[in-house]
Amino acid sequence: MLCFIFFLILYPSCTKKDALDAIRTSGEITLLTRNNGHCYYTYRDKPMGFEYDLAKAFSDFLGVRLKVKTPAWESLLGDLEQGKGHIVGASMTIMASRQEKADFSESYLTVQQQVIRHKENGGVREIGDLEGKTVHVRRGTSYESRLKALQEKGLNIDIVLHDDVPTEELIRMVAEREIDLIVADSNVALLNRRYYPEIRIAFPLGEEESLGWAVRKGEKALLKEVNEFFLKIKADGTFDKIYEKYYANVEIFDYVDLKKYHERIDERLPKFKGIIQKAARKNNFDWRLIAAVIYQESHFDPEATSYTGVEGIMQLTQDTAEHLGVDDHRDPEQSIMGGVKYLRKLYKGFHDAKDPDRIYLALAGYNVGRGHVLDAQKIAEEKGLDPNSWSSLEQVLPLLRYRKYYKNTKHGYCRGTEPVRFVNRIRTYYDILRREAVS
């Protein structure tokens, strides 16, 4: 027995499985992440988030279940060291100080720290303008490190550190004039600008930085799998699809439009919310998606008339309205019930596509007609693109403006940029409503 104990002391690795072996043996991998709008949250009882979707794809890659834990920001790497999780996937910047505590994957996304201010705070336009200013950031972040480096170079900045406060919350505080300045990574800043149109992304605080996943020190086998996973999903388009799901069109910012949208959510939407929810339930849609469609069509105005003469809150054409039994375009209930029924019919027609692409195809059909979408799908196939992918249709639909492409189609010319704009605006409006539901 003493010999056996002596053997275990000399060769401890023989008694302990590495993380990858333990994951495969248990059939489960534990993700340590943050409960916020870009890492992990639940919506309609379904787990979501950019980091969550990446981790779910990784668990599928390994053939195991995914478990999620959300410790405080300051505890992420400590919990990893203590074996409370296998990976940290939390949009964490790779820094030398963190690499002393954990091993990091290759970069899967580059970001840039940005100073965020209120739109009325126009005096802050470059780093020198931070002289004498107070900047708020979460403790233990790369933002804190960067600001302290500027202090050491002689810039007089007052840094206020917040314990475990999400960057999104600090952005809200800027929007509501509770604080003046914060720092946020570019992806978080761009995404939250649509939720808080009063903020401005003032200027970058430094060079681009890399985000990586962390594993415990010495877990070479698991780290190798993580790196191979990211190589695979970047090559096969999975990464782009997940990124697009959460960050689609974040670079596009129309202050006037978004400001008006937020106002009308409060002022006009409540009047029609009950009807929208009723129609959505009947046709198995998220009511917030339907509200986004209605806003894009009419800005929640039952008296709206388009430049083509189409009337009503859901802008049904005369032929479609008659087919659906809608005899009064300006009656909100008739128009909404008919319009959602029509959208369901279009949705059923694109049965070869999977959500969310399927609903995007249906929305494009709602805008320009199913026939033009079918024509675009055919062109996509001819070009070797996936005809059931919205990213493919975004490329192909605009081609229907050109005779070279539409002359051989069944339904002919189409202003193909319009359905692309239509769908992507709805996606933005829908994202804002969803975000309010999980705030």
How long, in residues, is the chain?
439
In order of 86, 99, 150, the CA distances from 222 in angstroms are 9, 16, 36
Three-state SS at 384: coil
The letter for the amino acid at 97 is S
The letter for the amino acid at 26 is S
Please enumerate, as own/partner, the contacts of 396-405 that have beta carbons within 8 Å and a separation of 24 or more. Answer: 397/364, 397/368, 397/372, 397/373, 400/372, 400/375, 400/376, 405/379
- Evaluate the omega torsion of the peptide bond into residue 166 and state whether it is cis, within 30 degrees of 0: no
73: nearest Cα among 158, 148, 145, 167? 167
Residue given tokens 């962390």 in the structure block = 214
| Cβ within 8 Å of residue 439, ≥6 positions away | none
CA distance 437 to 298: 23
* Gyration radius from the chain CA atoms: 25
CA distance 175 to 258: 14
CA distance 194 to 357: 22
- Residue 248 corresponds to which tokens in the numbers above? 């689609």
**Do the strands 109-111 and 65-69 form a parallel or antiparallel pair, or are they unpaired?**
unpaired
Catalytic residue (one of 297, 303, 322, 394):
297
Residue 297 among the catalytic residues: yes
Residue given tokens 């107070």 in the structure block = 134
Three-state SS at 94: coil
- Residue 289 corresponds to which tokens in the numbers above? 């998606």
191: nearest Cα among 109, 108, 128, 277? 109
Residue given tokens 């670079």 in the structure block = 251
In order of 33, 35, 55, 301, 325, the CA distances from 58 in angstroms are 14, 19, 5, 45, 48
1 class by beta-carbon count within 10 Å (0-12 exposed, 13-18 middle, 19+ buried): exposed
CA distance 337 to 332: 8
Catalytic residues: 297
